[in-house]
Structure 1
């Protein structure tokens, strides 16, 4: 597929104006600035757990997140490349009684990984494998895999996709446990509708750190742990080190186990200025109309049921806010 620049991907309209652009399927996000970004940890991770301290020139990059409002100051960063190293990191950190946080992509809306109380940051962004696991008839994806890479690999390899978000540098690790929704959600549901299993590092009541797999199979004794990762948010019960995705279809053909990727997406972006015309009454009316339209056009079989829109009311200091459809 040809590279797609950000300019081709999104064209801003002027003063509540807009423009639409037709794109190839989700795999087309691999172009230029809209592609997934290389993880700094990928060049560090290796055959053993790597410790990076504040004196290391790599430290500043590892503790930074997508939102520059927050700056983490952990005592050190532990960079893991597999589940066993994650278990080792948890074991060592607990033994020292230190509070830790886990980072897969750093796109947190809050200071989950940069809070001043976090003394150890466990970085799992290098765990980014994307492959088909024939033994489970499911697509196995590491928590550090970024959405842009996931879409590209699934599309190029099998012509399928996941109905996840639009930001290509968001990592799977935090996106999936929160539900994972995006422009295909009204057509295909959300990503956790296809979550078949997780590999997770947990700490039991005896303080033992171990790695287990939990699936959605009804006879799986760990099924409730799988269920807890279908929208409740991450980091509550352990550290997920691998996700498996598939639908309920039978057979061994990977192309039948996830939704088919659309042939193209038509994306429109409308810009609203934060000026004197956007009064409280006008803004409230916009919110009500936006919500009411979706409520009135969400029934199965409705001609607009596949139309997805996101209203992004940024702070007034940004000068404008957006509606992407």
Structure 2
């Protein structure tokens, strides 16, 4: 009997906390959001709670690490899939007002779970619907929203010009939000640097719910969001990027060598001369 009680008590306690949190969310946080969302997209397409049928489908739709796809996450209360910057502002303001932490998700490629777990009550700001891409070929510039994938960025640029590109990663489903804010390694970095080396502006919602650009946020804030993890400083809505020149045709090949025959040293030595020669050709 004692063992049964010790196992059951934590479960009862957990359920009690969840019920209390759920009541607080429905009585205070959701009404706050509704005041701002009333004239925009319907609530059913924006806000997902554990009581909604599509809640777990939305939660698991972009999770890359299945460790964080468990429905037993007592601190996650709501997922909000924003369509407009004003909705992001409202979520930040309501979260601050009611003491609810926020986690930001764009593409879901978060192996460590920072977008999915917290020690306190939190909501997920899902930016999947903020994926607009506007390209200015003449100026060789583009504005890219945080939820756009790298594949969408590359495709949009290629449709406009066969000689413009952007130096970022190779996984097409990674979104620019996490990729840019983490630095952005890619195959073009020897010639053009990281993705963040080609970011010239950004729009961000700060902790006060204000939308800032590079000038209004200042270099002390713009610098860390470019490579230092933007979610620590606010919610980035979009990035202004500088496009770079690329060849219209690219050759891709694989080179297979047997490392057991002590060819590693020769292979590494040979490789040192290939990139520099390619750069001279380009």
RMSD, matched Cα: 3.4
- Return the alpha-carbon distance in structure 2 between the equivalents of residues 76 and 261 of structure 1: 46
User: CA contact under 8 A between 2:168 and 2:188: conserved in structure 1?
Assistant: yes
Q: SS of the counterpart of 1:90?
A: helix
* Structure 1, gaps ≥5 residues long: 1-45, 247-256, 273-277, 307-325
Work out which of the residue numbers 190, 193, 204 in structure 1 matches 2:194.
Answer: 190
Question: 1:94 is paired with a residue of what secondary structure?
Answer: helix
- Secondary structure of the residue aligned to 2:206 is strand
Which runs of no fewer than 5 residues in structure 2 stay unpaired? 1-39
Larger gyration radius, structure 1 or structure 2: 2
**Structure 2 match to 1:130:** 133
How far apart are 1:262 and its partner, in Å? 4.7
Any conservation in 2 of the 1:143–1:241 contact (CA below 8 Å)?
yes
| 1:302 corresponds to | 276
1:267 Cα offset (Å) = 4.0
Shift of the 261–222 alpha-carbon distance from structure 1 to 2, 3 Å rule, reads: farther
Confirm or deny that 1:260 pairs with 2:246.
Answer: yes
Separation in 1, partners of 2:269, 2:53: 49
* 1:261, distance to aligned residue in structure 2 (A): 5.0
Distance 1:96 1:58 in 2: 25
Q: Which has the higher contact order (CA 8 A, sep 6+)?
A: 1
Q: Which of these residues, 121, 141, 164, is aligned with residue 168 of structure 2?
A: 164
Looking at structure 1, the residues matched to 248 and 118 of structure 2 have their Cα atoms a distance apart, in angstroms, of: 43
Higher helix share: 2
| Cα distance in 1 between the residues matched to 2:211 and 2:136 | 18
Asked if 1:244 corresponds to 2:240, the answer is yes
Query: Shift in Å at residue 116 of structure 1?
Result: 4.3
Match of 1:202 in 2: 206
Give deviations 1:37-76, integer Å, cap 9, x for gaps. xxxxxxxxx6367211112122112222122122263111
Aligned length: 230
User: 2:167–2:186: 8 Å Cα contact kept in structure 1?
Assistant: yes
Aligned to 2:160, the other structure's residue is in SS state helix
Cα distance between partner residues in 2 of 1:97 and 1:271:
57
Please name the residue that 2:228 is paired with: 232
Match of 2:111 in 1: 109
Q: Does the residue aligned with 1:182 lie in a helix, a strand or coil?
A: coil
- Normalization by structure 1: what TM-score? 0.62
Q: Does 1:96 align with 2:98?
A: yes
Structure 1 CA distance, aligned partners of 2:140 and 2:146?
Answer: 19
Larger proportion of strand: 1
Displacement after TM superposition at 1:305 (Å): 5.9
Instruction: Name the structure 1 match of 2:22.
Output: none
Distance 1:271 1:71 in 2: 39
Label 1:297 to 1:66 Cα distance change in 2 as closer, same or farther (>3 A): same
Q: Residues 271, 229 of structure 1: CA spacing in aligned structure 2 closer, same or farther, 3 A cutoff?
A: farther
Are residues 1:68 and 2:72 paired? no
Structure 2 vs 1, CA of residues 59 and 294 (structure 1 numbering), >3 Å: closer, same or farther? Answer: farther
Q: Deviations over 1:105-134 (max 9, x none)?
A: 100121111114362111111100011269
2-structure distance, mates of 1:294, 1:200: 45
Q: Deviations over 1:173-217 (max 9, x none)?
A: 1100111111121222111111010000002xxxx32111115xx
